[in-house]
Amino acid sequence: MKDCNNKIIMLMDMDAFFASCEQQEKPFLRGKPIAVGGKNVVAACSYEAKKYGVKSGMSTFEALKICPDLIVVPGDMEKYASTSREIMRMLPDYTPEIEIFSIDEAFLDITGTIKFWNNDPVFLAEHLRRRIRKRFGITASIGISYNKLIAKLAASMAKPDGVKYIEKKDTHEILENLPVDELSGIGRKLKIKLNELGIATCGELGKFPVKILKRLFGQYGMILHYMAIGEDRGEVKELTPKNRSIGHSRTIPGGIRDYNIARIYLLRLCEMVGRRVRKAGFVGRTVTLTIRYDDFFTFSKQKSLYDYIDVGEDIYKEALYLFNRIETGKSIRLVGISLSGLVKASRQITIGENTDNIRFLHALDSVNNRYGEDTIKRASFSLIDVPVKSISNFEKHLDLKL
Ligand SMILES: [Mg+2]
C-alpha cells in the first residue's frame, strides 16, 4: 500500500463559495447577510448570515426568523460551476497531482513540487490565495498537513480567509482533546452515538477497542479508528481513468425503511452516475453499492461485469442485484453508487443495438446538462424529495473536468 501519511497535502476550500460569487457579482450584497437557495431551503449563506446562526440545509422560513434582514438570492449553479472551473484551472501551476473534491474544494499533493516554492507550503498557499482574490474578488482558505484528513481539519481551522499548517509532530496533541465531530466524516448523529459509548474526543476514540468499533460500525469502524489517530488511507486521486470512479451518494433525512422507496433513490443515483460517466466520455465495468444504516453500520458491495456500461438503467440492474441481497428491515441512512474500472468510451453501435435508445439518451443528456438535473426525469422521482438541500450531497463526489 502506498504511504498516504508522509506527504504534503493542501486542501483549498473556497469561503462561502456560492454566496461569495453572488456578493462579488452584485456589490450591493457585500457585507450583508445573504442566503443562496430556492424558495424553501437555504443552500448556502454568507459569513454575515452565519453569524446569526443561519446554516445551509435550514428552511428559508426558519432562517428568516433568526435573521430578519436576510436577503435570499436564487442560486445559479451554472455560474458557480464556471467560476469553479476557472479557479481549478489555476491549480496545475502548483502540482500535477490534484483531486477536485467538490465544486469549491480541491486537494493538492505538493510533496513533489514544494522545492520550487522555497520548501514553504504556506508561501505556496498564500500565492494561490492571492491569485484567486485578485482575479475573482473572493477568498479561499487553505489547510496543509501530511494527509488529506488532517489537511481538511486544518482548512476548517483556517476559515475564513486563512491558512493553517498542521505538522505531523503536532497532530497528536491537537487530536487528543478535539471533539470527534470536528473531523470531516463525523456528523451530529454519529457524534451522539459515539458519546453514548463514552467517546467525546478523538483521543478517546483512538483508544477505544477497534474490535468493538468494527462490530458496531462495520467497515466504517476501522476507518473511525484510523481517523481518530490522524491516519488517512486516502491518497490524492488524480483524474486518470485508471483509478477514477464516478459516483454519487445521498443521505436520506430521517432514514428510510421502505426499500421500494430506497430503490427509487438508487435508480436516481444510477442515472446521475450514468449521465456523468457519459459526459466525461467513459464506460466502466465495476458497480459499487454503499449502504449506511441508521445506526451508522456501513458497508459496500461490488460487482464487476464482463461488459462495459454507461447507461443508468444498466448500472441500476447491477446495483439492484447487490441491493436485493442486503439485510432487510433496517432503516437506511445513506445510499451510494459508483462506477469504476473506467476506460475511454469508443461507442461502436453494434448491429441490432437499439439506436433509438441511444439517441434518446443523448437528447436527454443535452437537456439536463444544459438546464440542470431533473429538467426531464422519471415520474417515479416525484415520490422522493429532491430539495435544493441535496446539492451538497450530490456535489460531494463531483469532479469537474479541468
Ligand atoms: Mg467551501
pLDDT of residue 389: 29
Sign of CA dihedral 302, 307, 312, 318: negative
Name residue, grid cell 504511504.
3
Mean per-residue pLDDT, 266-282: 89
In the structure, what pLDDT confidence band is assigned to residue 34 with cuts at 50, 70 and 90? very high
Under 8 Å between Cβ of 157 and 13: no
User: Is the predicted pLDDT of residue 324 greater than 50, yes or no?
Assistant: yes
Question: Does the structure show a pLDDT above 80 at 394?
Answer: no
Q: Give the pLDDT band of residue 398 (cuts 50, 70, 90).
A: very low
pLDDT band at 359 (very low <50, low <70, confident <90, very high): low
Domain made up of 241-395: CATH architecture:
2-Layer Sandwich (3.30)
Centre of ligand 1 from the C-alpha of residue 100, in Å:
12
Mean pLDDT of 45-49: 95
Active site (annotated) includes residue 105: yes
Most confident of 246-250, 296-300, 332-336: 332-336
Q: Which of 48, 97, 105, 395 is catalytic?
A: 105
Mean pLDDT of 355-374: 61
pLDDT given for residue 399 in this prediction: 31
Average pLDDT of span 31-44: 88
pLDDT confidence of residue 368: 62
| CATH classification for the domain delimited by 1-166, as one of 3.10.20.30, 3.40.718.10, 1.10.468.10, 3.30.70.270 | 3.30.70.270
For the record, the C-alpha cell of 46 comes out as 454568507
Least-confidence region, from 25-29, 67-71, 141-145, 359-363: 359-363
Distance in Å, CA 16 to ligand 1 centroid:
5
Q: At what angle do helices 210-217 and 219-228 cross, to 10 degrees?
A: 140
Distance 132 CA to ligand 1 centre (A): 14
- Higher-confidence position of 240 and 197: 197
Residue 321 pLDDT > 70, yes or no? yes
Distance from the CA of 389 to the center of ligand 1, in angstroms? 15
Q: Cα 235–57–299 angle (5° rounding)?
A: 40
Indicate if the pLDDT at residue 387 is higher than 50.
no
The mean of the pLDDT values for the chain is 84
- Provide the residue ranges of all domains of the chain, joining segments of one domain with +: 1-166, 171-228, 241-395
Distance from residue 255's CA to the centre of ligand 1 (Å): 26
Instruction: Using the mean position of ligand 1's atoms as its centre, give its distance from the Cα of residue 104 in Å.
Output: 5
Grid coordinates representing 131? 491569485
Q: What per-residue confidence (pLDDT) applies to 382?
A: 55
From CA 384, how far away is CA 382, in angstroms rounded?
5
Give just the sign of the alpha carbon dihedral 111, 115, 120, 124: negative
Specify the pLDDT at position 5. Answer: 82
C-alpha cell, 74: 436564487
Return the CATH number of 171-228, one of 3.40.50.2000, 3.40.50.300, 1.10.150.20, 1.10.3720.10.
1.10.150.20
Q: What is the C-alpha radius of gyration for the chain, rounded to an integer number of angstroms?
A: 22
d(CA 28, CA 60): 21
Which segment, 1-5, 75-79, 105-109, 393-397, is predicted with the most confidence on average? 105-109
Distance (Å) from CA 14 to ligand 1 centroid: 4
Give 109 or 359, the one with higher predicted confidence. Answer: 109
207-258 tens-digit pLDDT: 999 999 999 988 889 889 999 999 987 767 654 445 578 888 888 878 899 8
User: Burial letters for 89-122: b for 16+ Cβ neighbours within 10 Å, e otherwise?
Assistant: eebeebbebbbbbbbbbbbbbbbebbeebeeebe
Yes or no: say if 23 and 40 are a contact pair by the CB < 8 Å rule. Answer: no
CA of 362 to the centre of ligand 1 (A): 32
Omega of the bond leading into 33 within 30 degrees of 0 (cis): no
Residue 378 has pLDDT above 70, yes or no: no
CA 13 to ligand 1 centroid distance, Å: 5
Q: How many CB atoms lie within 10 A of CB 229?
A: 14
| More confident position, 215 or 402 | 215
Average pLDDT on 270-294 reads: 89
pLDDT above 80: residue 142: yes
Asked whether residue 400 carries a pLDDT value surpassing 50, the answer given is: no
